[in-house]
A = this chain, B = another copy of it.
């Protein structure tokens, strides 16, 4: 198959062997796959993640010197069924799924393991159990965004918000917008969104934020102290800064994944009695909630979407994600070369 492969810190289009669906797995053809900031991070800072995952039996089973096909936000269609499948969904059915496969009792991350190619390639092997049929009302690109939306669903669920919580979302990328969508769905009364980018702040307002903050112009907490803060950036130093700005007793939900060693000055957190909650990841229920909310139009992600591109444009499009003036999500269709 054709794929935009990551190898030794670079992305290029190459021909790979088609994946073979294992027991309980289905072979699918990718129709659309979102480019995620964490793909860019893995490209440039993947070593520590791999090292730790290998040591701890984690889900990121990558040899970065060998080809990895990134892409964990996808819409695809069923092509073939592997051994010991129920053949529940017919060939041609459009599907999405949480990007994990359970192999020999261990979880593997689709698009973040050498042998589980993601959606930046023509074909993937996915767990039949996790496949969700995409309704006709939802086009390929929006269906592909089920995964980032599910992340927002998860973090807001995990936060167990109280009725009177004032919520601040730090960073208005895909995860920040997904958290915002989930907060709106929960009818949270006061939602602030902070982002350095004017474009992103406008996007936050268009997506239902009650007010927005430019952290360069004002301390993020000037508008009343938030009781719960969602950190949706995942770059070194952001958690430290959030802890410094947080009010006494605040809870910080860390939704941004920082793939480099981060630094924190924890006396700040001690003095203020902060609680810092890390993620886990979305559970199947969060993926299903996101899928349903998208299918029923309860959550609308059209404003996230930019260009649809072919495989040869993936490398440049990933680097372009650094500029917040660009759209939240570029989607690759590997059927275009």
Contact = CB atoms under 8 A, between A and B. Distances in A.
Nearest to A58: B271
Interface stretch (A29-37, A79-87, A260-268): A260-268
B280 A52 contact: no
A271 B270 CA distance: 24
A163 to B, nearest CB: 20
Given A261-B263, A265-B262, A267-B259, A280 B276 contact: no
Given A257-B266, A266-B239, A249 B280 contact: yes
- Interface bracket on A: 35 or more
Contacts of A59: 271
Interface string A247-262: 0110000100111011
Main DSSP-derived SS at the A contact region: mixed
Contacts of A280: 248-249, 270-273
B265 A52 contact: yes
Contacts of A49: 267
Interface string A128-168: 00000000000000000000000000000010000000000
Interface string A189-214: 00000000000000000000000000
A108 to B, nearest CB: 13
A277 interface: yes
Nearest to A158: B273
A52 B244 contact: yes
A276 B275 contact: yes
A216 interface: no
Interface of A: 48-49, 52-53, 56, 58-59, 158, 239, 244, 248-249, 254, 257-259, 261-281
